[in-house]
Amino acid sequence: MNVERYLRLIAGTFVLVSVLLGVYHSPSWFLLTGFVALNLIQSAFTNWCPMMTFLRKMGAKG
């Protein structure tokens, strides 16, 4: 998989887990959902995401 596919997988996982935690544990977890959403919006405009840098250092293909 390339960086973009890993990024979508990780973002989707974070959203799903934070929503489940927000529903079943504490509504404060929805803040993580919002953070992921803001990061995705930011990356749409700048074409850069901190996770992309991390994934490239871990050896994911660009």
Cα–Cα distance for residue pair 36/43, rounded to 1 Å? 10
pLDDT of residue 62 exceeding 80, the answer is: no
Residue entry with tokens 């871990």:
58
* Least confident segment among 9-13, 36-40, 46-50: 46-50
What is the pLDDT at residue 57? Answer: 94
The four Cα atoms 35, 39, 42, 44 give a dihedral, to 10 degrees, of -130
Q: What is the mean pLDDT of residues 9-27?
A: 97
Task: Give the domain ranges of the chain.
Answer: 3-57
